[in-house]
Amino acid sequence: MGAGKTFNGEYTSNHTRARPSQQTLPLLLQRRRKANPDLRITILVGVGNHRPMMKEEMVDKFGVEICARERIVQHDSQDAAALVKIGALSSGNELWINREAVETECLIAEGLIEPHSFAGFSGGPKSVLPGIAGYRSIHANHCAEFIHSGEARTGNLDGNPIHQEMVKAAQLANLSFIFNVVLATDGTVLRAFCGYPLDQNIYQSVKGMSTAESCCKPGGVIIMVAACQYGHGGDSFYSHLASAATPAELHRRTCRRGRHETLPDQWEFQILSRILANHPVILATALEDPRVVTAMHIRPARTIDEALERAFRMKGQQAQVVVIPDGVSTLVDSPPAESVEERKR
């Protein structure tokens, strides 16, 4: 696939996973082509370090129609020409992934959630690492040091170094959307889960808040809807906000730091403190501990309706509402609202 071609990618798991792709993959393909019937889509099979799927296995997994109609590419973790280095993980391990995934305009993954002996659970970020990663990146992630960790155990994600690297890999790969399922004992779909990696914690959700900031009146309320299943997103990010007397105070202090005095996560708490200094922020999420949200000078809500009701109480029932479905991918054609400090000058 040459650079510059219009391309959308669907990642899917391989024959070693029991995912019912004949049921779920057509749903993804149909949704992607709803707005553009001529959209070119490539199905990239995340083989990881496993062998390629045989033709019979592909037909059994995807169905005759998809195999005949769609372009299907099987990942080869040892094909250097098919791999691209996209960065380094927190451990220093280099991340190499399939070139098709790097060149796509929109990378979507499907997978199966089930307990995993050292990653905690399958599905989620495993679609990138190990799914479409180079074998050296996979081996580094599965190293003896990480496997020996007491946190690398079945059903555990908290502090799991293997899972943490997988999450970072998904972020570096710009994974846009995930469609995961949980199966019942008879193989039928019990639950389906869809999500965007950029709402996995408060740190990542700041990217969406910054878009809202650029089109919100001074003092206007920002409602952020985010799953935040992985908490606040970083100890430095959380501690600086939680220990600040006010967001405005933290923002002023951070802006005075020298170029060579940059702290971990400083960029993110600098942006969030700027937003909070000018706008009340309500975080609508069912999964984050409300005490953590409150400590960061954010107002928690369990549902969107609760957040809206609270915002209308603050700004009046006649207040206007702007809805931004995808804050991370939206550009607003207007300058940011002036800050509190600028209005005081």
253 shares a domain with 131: no
Which one of 130, 160, 195 terminates a domain?
195
221 shares a domain with 167: no
Average pLDDT of span 285-295: 86
Which one of 134, 162, 195 terminates a domain?
195
Burial class of residue 316 in the structure, from the number of CB atoms within 10 Å of its CB (0-12 exposed, 13-18 middle, 19+ buried): exposed
Q: What is the predicted pLDDT for the residue at 90?
A: 79
Least trusted range by pLDDT, from 114-128, 159-173, 176-190: 176-190
210 shares a domain with 158: no
Q: What is the predicted pLDDT for the residue at 9?
A: 56
Spatial CB neighbours of 104, under 8 Å, sequence gap ≥ 6: 7, 8, 9, 42
Average pLDDT of span 141-155: 93
221 shares a domain with 123: no
Is 231 within the bounds of a domain?
A: yes
The residue behind tokens 């990542």 is: 204
Active site residue 297: no
C-beta atoms surrounding 183 within 10 Å: 16
What are the start-end ranges of the E strands in 117-250?
Answer: 120-121, 175-183, 189-195, 222-225
Is 152 within the bounds of a domain?
A: yes
What's the rounded Cα separation, in Å, for the pair 95 and 98? 10
Which one of 136, 160, 195 terminates a domain?
195
**Mean pLDDT, rounded, of the chain:** 87
State the helix-helix crossing angle for 266-278 and 202-213, rounded to 10 degrees.
Answer: 50
179 shares a domain with 302: no
Q: Which of 116, 163, 232, 240 is catalytic?
A: 116
**203-216 per-position pLDDT tens digit:** 989 988 999 998 89
What's the rounded Cα separation, in Å, for the pair 218 and 277? 10
How does residue 2 score in pLDDT terms, banded at 50, 70 and 90? very low
Full-prediction pTM beyond 0.85? no
213 shares a domain with 182: no
State the helix-helix crossing angle for 235-243 and 247-255, rounded to 10 degrees.
Answer: 120
328 shares a domain with 269: yes
- Residue percentage of the chain with pLDDT more than 90: 57
Is 341 within the bounds of a domain?
A: no
37 shares a domain with 12: yes
Average pLDDT of span 48-61: 89
In terms of pLDDT, which residue wins out, 20 or 39? 39
**91-143 per-position pLDDT tens digit:** 888 999 999 999 998 899 988 899 999 999 999 999 999 999 999 999 999 99
What are the start-end ranges of the E strands in 70-174?
Answer: 71-74, 83-88, 94-98, 106-112, 115-116, 120-121
Active site residue 50: yes
138 shares a domain with 80: yes
Q: What is the predicted pLDDT for the residue at 339?
A: 47
Least trusted range by pLDDT, from 114-118, 179-183, 283-287, 331-335: 331-335
Q: What is the predicted pLDDT for the residue at 334?
A: 55
How many domains, in total, are found in the chain?
Answer: 2
269 shares a domain with 175: no
Is 345 within the bounds of a domain?
A: no
Domain containing residue 166: CATH number:
3.40.50.11440
pLDDT of 15 above 70: no
221 shares a domain with 175: no
Domain containing residue 308: CATH number:
3.90.226.30
pLDDT of 11 above 80: no
223 shares a domain with 162: no
Structural domain harbouring 315: 199-336
**220-268 per-position pLDDT tens digit:** 999 999 988 778 988 899 999 999 999 999 999 999 998 888 888 899 9
Is 279 within the bounds of a domain?
A: yes
Q: Residue 9's beta-bridge partner residues?
A: 42, 107
How does residue 288 score in pLDDT terms, banded at 50, 70 and 90? low
Q: What is the predicted pLDDT for the residue at 173?
A: 94
Is 344 within the bounds of a domain?
A: no
